[in-house]
Structure 1
Amino acid sequence: MARRTEADGTPERRVWPRVLLAALFVAVTALVVGTLAATRVDTPASSEPYTPSALATPTAQPTASATKHPAPPRVLLALSATAAWRAPAGSCPGTPVTLEYTTDAGVTWKPSTSAGSLGATSVLDLERGLNGAVTAVGQMPDACAPQQLTTISRADKWHPLDGPVTSWFVVPGSPASINTPTGALPTPCAAVNSVQAGTEVNVAVLCDDERLFRSQDAGVTWDSGFWVPGAVSLGGTKQGYIVAAIGTPMCTGVQLEIFSPKAAPRDRSSAGCHATNADLGTVQVAVGADTVWLWVGDEIGPLTRDGNNWK
């Protein structure tokens, strides 16, 4: 894989060629064109304890042989082949979490002092903002209402951002619901593992029972879904979505699957395997600037591709 977080020496630097990764996504989803975009969620600040505005009722039954995979306990944002942010998901109320960033492809990580001073005890989302900024959605211990934070890309200058929250995330306290540009909406999941928005209207949710659902109207309606055996994490790309799966017969490690934003003759394809001996109990996938990052156990960093294998 890419990088270990322990001080076990300086690993070989591996950088994914953008042209090859872009070609992979184009080949798999040739009929799909999408653009990642920031989206709005109207969640006003409040001094009152946070209460979800919508509770979802699951509309589809999970596959009997599926394994439960709860939402990952950490969050990863890939910016490029060398830069990324990460954080524990935390909880609210709870103890303050630490955001960290790297500019050397995960060889070293530096904790954010400015984010720590804000006192957020959970991170619900990390994503690119406008004009090169990075945004986070966190919860403060006073009321636990989702609050948007922002900083300049690769800079440790986090501060609260006034106005509506502009991210998609699972509604705290209502695991079957997601926040959308029009407020909280139900999903087909009994519990959402993760949510990714491709555009203002294209969004996907990965359920904790290994099912993937896609919407083309900002979460109002959903397709019939896919069962993705072993699915544990969901990432977003300009062309669609990438799912990380474990325990598959064709891969000793993490299997990568690509899905287009909508139904098409070729809307799903295997992208290959990342073989690893790392602990598969916690897996996070993210995509940034045509680079796929994986956080598997204590290994984290960008991947390179060698045929059908990812390293």
Structure 2
Amino acid sequence: MLSRLHLTKRGATLGLVALGIADVVLIALALQAGAGTGGTPQPLPRSTATVTPSSGTGTPSPGDSTSAGPTSTSSAMTSRGAGAPAADAAPSGRLLLAAVDADHAWRVHGGSCDTGGATIERTSDGGRTWTRVSSPLRMITRLSASDADTAFIDGAGRDCTPQERRTDDGGGTWAPGDPSTSWYVVPQHPRSVNGPAVGTSEPCESGPVQDLVAVRDGARVLCTDGTIRATYSYGREWVDTGKVAKGTGLDAVPDSSQLYATRVGQDGCSGIEVVRVSDTNDVVACIDTEADPSAAAFSLTPEGVWLAAGDTVWRSNDRQTWQKTVRAS
């Protein structure tokens, strides 16, 4: 699934005790107003899709370093992908993709809490070549990027507790962030989603969360049974808003609430189908790929869409015509 998903905390300089008390009262009333079903919270920046990792702890991996320079790589990335799991299983170690524009994107292999192995790559030529940068976390569950040099990741370190990191130099260095102000699926609890300033909730009645994306009026989740649920109150309440049978991924057009999804196992499409989420789930494209359709990821730009599967990237600048790029060996 891109800009970072953080709430901005208002700071104020208290000159008078009376004004300080008034500020506290006003903030409390504002939060209370957004908590109900009809409340409309402050719009949130867009986020990429989130994935639920496996639980447990393990020995440290090379991905535990906090900063390192980029190194070039051309090896194929393998991952579990965005396949639709059984209702009682959570996605683990899947491929994540955050497209910035027609040429630039970030890609992550999420790794796992048990074995680590998270990897981060970036491209500036539409997916023909990818440069690997050091991952500061063992496991990555969410990736978002606002430009070719700036990205955010949420995931976990050695003890599998949630962590967040930010880079503004293309992955050369990573600074810590506050995961409590972000949307993410809780690493050791695949049914739970963290909402900024609210805490955790369980949006899917059928099982774990398959995918999560932030939109300007809250957040949306894709459940493992294909149900799409929405919150307009930072996770205090969730409601059904649609369904994509055999859905594998979910994303939103930047600065909007229009959703797109990927799905597999459809009549007339042996690969990956991209649909515009609606009452009829209008088909945008069928991507015919010999790669495992479940090991894929997609990401929307303001006008286009990227889809990555195996060593191949498909891009569309208008969501109608597509260009296929095979990774250089």
TM > 0.5: yes
Structure 1 residues 68 and 286: CA distance shift in structure 2, 3 A: same
Does residue 1:137 correspond to 2:137, yes or no?
no
Structure 1 residues 130 and 267: CA distance shift in structure 2, 3 A: farther
Contact 1:147 / 1:160 at 8 angstroms: preserved in 2?
Answer: no
2:239 aligns with 223
**Structure 2 Cα separation of the partners of residues 35 and 79 of structure 1:** 21
2:265 aligns with 247
Name whichever of 125-134 and 183-192 sits farther off.
Answer: 125-134
Give the alignment partner of residue 150 of structure 1, picking from 166, 175, 180.
166
Counterpart of 2:162, as a letter, is: P
**Structure 2 Cα separation of the partners of residues 290 and 222 of structure 1:** 29
**Structure 2 Cα separation of the partners of residues 140 and 231 of structure 1:** 29
1:172 aligns with 187
**Structure 2 Cα separation of the partners of residues 203 and 185 of structure 1:** 12
Structure 1 residues 252 and 164: CA distance shift in structure 2, 3 A: closer
Does residue 1:197 correspond to 2:217, yes or no?
no
Contact 2:110 / 2:141 at 8 angstroms: preserved in 1?
Answer: yes
The TM-score, its normalising length taken from structure 2, stands at 0.64
Per-residue deviation, 1:173: 1.7
Does residue 1:183 correspond to 2:196, yes or no?
no
Per-residue deviation, 1:280: 1.1
Contact 2:105 / 2:122 at 8 angstroms: preserved in 1?
Answer: yes
Per-residue deviation, 1:291: 2.5
Structure 1 residues 293 and 35: CA distance shift in structure 2, 3 A: farther
Per-residue deviation, 1:38: 5.5
If asked which structure has higher relative contact order (CA below 8 Å, sep 6+), I would say: 1
Kindly provide the CA deviation profile for residues 34-88 of structure 1, in whole angstroms up to 9, marking residues without a partner as x.
976068xxxxxxxxx9xxxxxxxxxxxxxxxx97385261221111111111111
2:91 aligns with 71
Per-residue deviation, 1:272: 3.1
**Structure 2 Cα separation of the partners of residues 82 and 131 of structure 1:** 9
Contact 1:140 / 1:147 at 8 angstroms: preserved in 2?
Answer: yes
Give the alignment partner of residue 86 of structure 1, picking from 85, 104, 107.
107
**Structure 2 Cα separation of the partners of residues 310 and 251 of structure 1:** 18
Secondary structure of 1:99's partner? strand
Does residue 1:303 correspond to 2:316, yes or no?
yes
Contact 1:92 / 1:121 at 8 angstroms: preserved in 2?
Answer: yes
Identity of paired residues, percent? 25
Aligned length: 241
Structure 1 residues 95 and 277: CA distance shift in structure 2, 3 A: closer
Does residue 1:95 correspond to 2:103, yes or no?
no
Counterpart of 1:286, as a letter, is: S
2:276 aligns with 258
Unaligned regions of 5+ residues in structure 1, if any? Answer: 1-33, 40-48, 50-65, 261-265
1:285 aligns with 298
Secondary structure of 2:234's partner? coil
Contact 1:235 / 1:287 at 8 angstroms: preserved in 2?
Answer: yes
Per-residue deviation, 1:309: 7.3
Structure 1 residues 303 and 86: CA distance shift in structure 2, 3 A: same
Kindly provide the CA deviation profile for residues 246-273 of structure 1, in whole angstroms up to 9, marking residues without a partner as x.
111142322112237xxxxx68533232
Secondary structure of 2:111's partner? coil
Per-residue deviation, 1:231: 0.7
Does residue 1:269 correspond to 2:273, yes or no?
no
Root-mean-square deviation (CA), in Å? 3.1
**Structure 2 Cα separation of the partners of residues 152 and 136 of structure 1:** 12
Matches within 5 A, 1:35-54: 37=45
Contact 1:38 / 1:167 at 8 angstroms: preserved in 2?
Answer: no
The TM-score, its normalising length taken from structure 1, stands at 0.67
